[in-house]
Structure 1
């Protein structure tokens, strides 16, 4: 082991077995995935079933009206692929329209922030192309929990309490669904969502006349995009309603927008780091930022990138700032041709590494790949007391402001299929509940800018630069691990710590997940109101007084997050030589679990 040894204990073992492993952010989703594997389903059947369950049991972190990205490899084709479930902006989502509504940022909540929903279509595409189960069997778990109820986790009620006045005064349909007795549900109370159960049943009914499994899935996809879901959502959100701007607006999404989107598969973007290939989404998401950070750190000695030491934590934070600045300056649907290749090159990483000094940077320092002028977003500073806001669960206020968190699913099966999916958006606090459907639309467009000519400007048909960013690892061309985390701008930051500790430091997966975490807030946030904390860093107190004091001496503006507050990672692994499978999950919040045998 080349890093400082972890604590003498971990909260749980890294699970090992040879049959199948699942890890998610909620125990009911993990149990669902494992139940599918036990009944002969493969990793894609299991992940899809778990994903629909997460719509029901973590409604404050994701929903059917949201989006997802995934990365996977199959037993027959180990080349990593991306599952693209990020819907684009509707045709009417123009900068001119939003400016004409008196807005200078896309709101963080309300129908104007809604991209075309991509999550459900993406799950159904994954099941269609790579699963084996009938759709009815996959959806049975979610339908049961929605119709018959499940004991709610405390964070759902906490989120609803935070936004209860908004629901009561402005979003009555949300109050009816989530506060049926005039209050937020208490932890352990059984809650139901009969409307969503009926929505899933209607999707199944649409395929009842199809002649085979794939035909039934195709019919459900058509019904989602061209049938009652699109009609109900569009008609309901046409009425002006309160947004996080504090003003009322009508959504611009149309039935044609729903019908025009289809989830897809894409090649992954990869980087080799210490003998391991790391696979991510393209630069329409933030995924390559993790690859850039690894490339910057790769030129340092092993001990100089140990996040448990002051020197290593400093280098990690400074490298992240540089990669995040490039993300905000260059990433997006309209990233310049050839820019990503340069951003991931060894020469560019060497130039960026040279900018890391002994003191913390408080500047926004994007590079100029191939001489390209960077976009510099508005840099509005976050008040010190708000620096840690949104690091665990979404933060919501009366206006509907929400800084998002999300969910995650990892599954590996005995045949060698490996998949990691990060679903998000469509949080119960994103926009008013559509009563006939039992869910609301998402707010991903808040990650675009109302400024012309940037790589991530709001533009009809363009995907917002999502923060959803699962990871697949390969060695010698074979998949060996899948992982991911909720956390918005922190997703890749926390995954970086995991990769450094497992690939360089010799930690086991569970040790790496349990180890003290940290992240930078010294970048413009991806979520409304898009502020930043120059030189800001949030740390778990378990990092240690000496390490924290040295980081402060170097000029980092430290916010202490508590002992167990940062990161919600999970992972599954596979040893191609022995067939041994593994899984690990985050103990923070006592909600994420791994299972397997």
Structure 2
């Protein structure tokens, strides 16, 4: 069938070819990935080069002090997708008692107390070591060039700096020095540099320059990152107290040993089958299975009820997402999770019965035999909580202004290697920029609770339940699509709309990206101050007055976000039978692009 808002409309064509395709949230990252493919590199070389470029050109959305999760398949073993795990854990001294002794009831959203051990750089290097072919120097050359010689500041960079200007000038002078050259907020598209980070990357290259093999060369770069100047400088700098988002001044707790003790890794994905396709996600230590649960709930409805562009479809999708999110916030964690039950057809059938004609304003996790149900705190928004910065990844404000969150990159090559990766964290507004390194640490620990009974309670060595959520789609044991988006709590919600429109509704990839979006915010936010908004939903106005009014009549508390504001999806595809490739990217914000031939 054909869903609403399809027709012949798209802002740009879905690219098609046979050689290689790249798509990302920034045109320079896409260009770097495609340049690698054109020069004989594979998808893993290309994705790594693109990932390091994103650290430089989208510093308000990710950084080397942050995290990354990926999904990939190799041409040699196409039926076996793997998770690339670049989510670091809490440092050894990040204990509940320490944070409670500071008078905190939530982990702050900005400041080094919210920093997990950085693992994004190590994850990219691990992927390069095991599946790439290019030398470290060649992969990092693109990022080094932009950091040393300059890149254009997309408008969201100055806008992000503007929101934290007072914080920088009064409390984080090292950040003001890096991000406000000459004491001024840069103009849109002004040329910015990050020469300190360029030097960090040169040191990674130099660490392995004398090694004989590709493996040893990359391993030397990984050791340098985890045990060299970066770890030593960061740990020493963060001993000095600095302002956090709750208004308090505290030192960080991360140490040299924390850096040295953390390594990226590979894991098996969580998967479900939906309408003849296999969808692969990270495990429930992240939010990825939210998409899988929502698909299983929706699978029991007729196709017509899966259309996000119809009133009944939009309502049904929002209600399914609330149920999946409630399970996320009750059961998901880095630990024992009843994933088999949560993803089963029987469990989904019971959840499906809860979807009525009107919007639910309740928090409704399921009941699982033998598993304790510990609910998260349900704080409604308080405009007087803390300061105006450090709120994590709020993608849309009430006025409809798009704000920063995360990055994404997808690559497929001529041999059939495919990568989907979502780097994030370590934003320029996360914590003070570390002198000599050019970047701050991330704030992923804000996704933990300070309640020892909750599965996602803060604990040393435990990964926070990340929102980073790339996706792979397989058909008959062969990968056909890699996709993802920034967006925090919205990542799997927007990807759900895309997949329904593409797999069920007859949209092309670009049409599915361009179609108007919506999402629920009726769950405890993953980001500080962790409020929830019962029955709330955010919509793009392009969904139409009739649909929006219908949702309101059903009890949804609607926030309009403007016509083009929700979602930054990109994707690449491959037809296993013909080798035909395609790619598409988000037009919102005029920043994401696809390239290929």
Q: Matches of residues 85-484 of structure 1 in structure 2 within 5 Å?
A: 85-336=86-337, 339-382=338-381, 405-484=405-484
- Consecutive unaligned residues of structure 2, counting only runs of 5 or more, are none
Deviation at 1:182, TM superposition (A): 1.2
Deviation at 1:300, TM superposition (A): 0.3
Match of 1:518 in 2: 518
Deviation at 1:487, TM superposition (A): 0.1
Match of 1:61 in 2: 61
Match of 2:570 in 1: 570
Match of 2:528 in 1: 528
Normalised to the residue count of structure 1, the TM-score between the two structures is: 0.97
Deviation at 1:208, TM superposition (A): 2.0
The residue matched to 1:251 in structure 2 has which SS? coil
Structure 1 residues 23 and 515, CA, compared in 2 at 3 Å: closer, same or farther? same
Give the whole-Å Cα distance in 2 for the aligned partners of 1:135 and 1:206.
Answer: 10
Match of 1:494 in 2: 494
Give the whole-Å Cα distance in 2 for the aligned partners of 1:3 and 1:203.
Answer: 49
Deviation at 1:374, TM superposition (A): 1.7
Match of 2:22 in 1: 22
CA contact (8 A) 2:483 2:570 kept: yes
The residue matched to 1:37 in structure 2 has which SS? helix
Residue 36 (structure 1) aligned with residue 36 (structure 2): yes
Deviation at 1:188, TM superposition (A): 1.4
Give the whole-Å Cα distance in 1 for the aligned partners of 2:152 and 2:257.
Answer: 38
Normalised to the residue count of structure 2, the TM-score between the two structures is: 0.97
Deviation at 1:370, TM superposition (A): 2.4
Give the whole-Å Cα distance in 1 for the aligned partners of 2:547 and 2:394.
Answer: 29
Give the whole-Å Cα distance in 2 for the aligned partners of 1:586 and 1:392.
Answer: 22
Give the whole-Å Cα distance in 2 for the aligned partners of 1:294 and 1:391.
Answer: 29
Give the whole-Å Cα distance in 2 for the aligned partners of 1:556 and 1:279.
Answer: 30
Structure 1 residues 39 and 185, CA, compared in 2 at 3 Å: closer, same or farther? same
Deviation at 1:152, TM superposition (A): 1.1
The residue matched to 2:77 in structure 1 has which SS? coil
Structure 1 residues 244 and 541, CA, compared in 2 at 3 Å: closer, same or farther? same
Residue-by-residue CA offset, 1:351-373 (whole Å, 9 max, x unaligned): 00000000000000001122523
The residue matched to 1:507 in structure 2 has which SS? coil
CA contact (8 A) 2:422 2:484 kept: yes
Residue-by-residue CA offset, 1:431-476 (whole Å, 9 max, x unaligned): 0000111111000000000010221110000000000000000001
CA contact (8 A) 2:22 2:34 kept: yes
Structure 1 residues 253 and 396, CA, compared in 2 at 3 Å: closer, same or farther? farther
Residue-by-residue CA offset, 1:385-425 (whole Å, 9 max, x unaligned): 99xx999975799xxxx996100000000000000000000
The residue matched to 1:231 in structure 2 has which SS? helix
CA contact (8 A) 2:4 2:310 kept: yes
CA contact (8 A) 1:509 1:584 kept: yes
Deviation at 1:384, TM superposition (A): 10
| Regions of 4+ moved over 3 Å | 383-386, 389-397
Deviation at 1:187, TM superposition (A): 1.1
CA contact (8 A) 2:392 2:527 kept: no
Structure 1 residues 385 and 502, CA, compared in 2 at 3 Å: closer, same or farther? farther
Give the whole-Å Cα distance in 2 for the aligned partners of 1:571 and 1:5.
Answer: 19
The residue matched to 1:423 in structure 2 has which SS? strand
Deviation at 1:4, TM superposition (A): 2.4
Give the whole-Å Cα distance in 2 for the aligned partners of 1:93 and 1:200.
Answer: 28
Residue-by-residue CA offset, 1:41-61 (whole Å, 9 max, x unaligned): 000000000000000000000
Structure 1 residues 390 and 367, CA, compared in 2 at 3 Å: closer, same or farther? farther
Match of 1:539 in 2: 539
Give the whole-Å Cα distance in 2 for the aligned partners of 1:391 and 1:546.
Answer: 33
CA contact (8 A) 1:150 1:191 kept: yes
Give the whole-Å Cα distance in 2 for the aligned partners of 1:5 and 1:137.
Answer: 43
CA contact (8 A) 2:245 2:390 kept: no
Give the whole-Å Cα distance in 1 for the aligned partners of 2:383 and 2:64.
Answer: 35
The residue matched to 1:573 in structure 2 has which SS? strand
Give the whole-Å Cα distance in 1 for the aligned partners of 2:339 and 2:534.
Answer: 26
Give the whole-Å Cα distance in 2 for the aligned partners of 1:491 and 1:429.
Answer: 21
CA contact (8 A) 1:290 1:496 kept: yes
Give the whole-Å Cα distance in 2 for the aligned partners of 1:86 and 1:371.
Answer: 29
The residue matched to 1:63 in structure 2 has which SS? coil
Match of 1:592 in 2: 592
- Consecutive unaligned residues of structure 1, counting only runs of 5 or more, are none
CA contact (8 A) 2:14 2:508 kept: yes
Give the whole-Å Cα distance in 1 for the aligned partners of 2:580 and 2:383.
Answer: 47
CA contact (8 A) 1:193 1:438 kept: yes
Deviation at 1:325, TM superposition (A): 0.2
CA contact (8 A) 1:296 1:352 kept: yes
Give the whole-Å Cα distance in 2 for the aligned partners of 1:390 and 1:314.
Answer: 32
User: After alignment, is 158-167 or 377-386 more displaced?
Assistant: 377-386
Structure 1 residues 8 and 590, CA, compared in 2 at 3 Å: closer, same or farther? same
Residue-by-residue CA offset, 1:487-509 (whole Å, 9 max, x unaligned): 00000000000000011101110
Structure 1 residues 7 and 381, CA, compared in 2 at 3 Å: closer, same or farther? farther
CA RMSD of aligned residues (A): 1.9
